Amino acid sequence: MIDVSPLRRSYTMSGLDEKDLTPTPIPLFERWLKDMIDSKLFDPNGMVVSTVDETGQPYSRMVLLKNYDAESLVFFTNLGSRKAQQLAKNPKICLLFPWYYLERQVMFIGTAEKLSVPAVMKYFHSRPRDSQIAAWASHQSSRISARSILEGKFLELKQKFKDGEVPLPSFWGGYKVKFHQVEFWQGRENRMHDRFIYDLQADGSWTINRLAP
């Protein structure tokens, strides 16, 4: 076994002080997102989506953020997927942006609700054509015996849809995650990290508190 216990590095790139904070979380998130985009690192909009099944077992997977506003974050997925089945029974969700190379993390806690069909259709038809066809080919999270089955289905559908627009699958959709808590984490030297948590209040305002690392 590989001994991972000594693997560590000191986080010295930056800090996060009270003066850096914004009254609401999205402007600060947007500033950090821009830093990540400007860094030219892979998948700046990649986020870990965590859901829970009916037994309380958590599941996490990477998904791409595709839109956001002051109150919510948006992603798209197969509605037959494991995450979608879990959200149908328990819409509580956690989204984590693991920006390791900038020594940062941002976590959103909230509730997921399905997007309207027109909103889903608009995004679906903005995707590359092969990605649209792949959505038809994959019954996400179902068990398959070989990759060749998936590839064969893709080629079959590519031929079927070779003329005209690829229709929106009835089993493909998106979610808007309305968040009520956001945590910003900035790595610091000697594990004395900076953490600030935003909590949404009933009147629509946000309270901000520093958390011990």
Indicate which residues carry an active-site annotation. Answer: 191
- Residues annotated within the binding site for substrate are 8-11, 66, 123, 127, 131, 191-193
Residue 173 to residues 34, 102, 170: CA-CA distances in angstroms? 27, 32, 8
DSSP string, 55-89: TS-EEEEEEE--EE-SSEEEEEEETTSHHHHHHHH
Residue 182, helix vs strand vs coil:
strand
- Residues annotated within the binding site are 8-11, 61-66, 76-77, 82-83, 105, 123, 127, 131, 140-141, 185, 191-193, 195
- Residues annotated within the binding site for FMN are 61-66, 76-77, 82-83, 105, 140-141, 185, 195
- Number of Cβ within a 10 Å radius of residue 52: 16
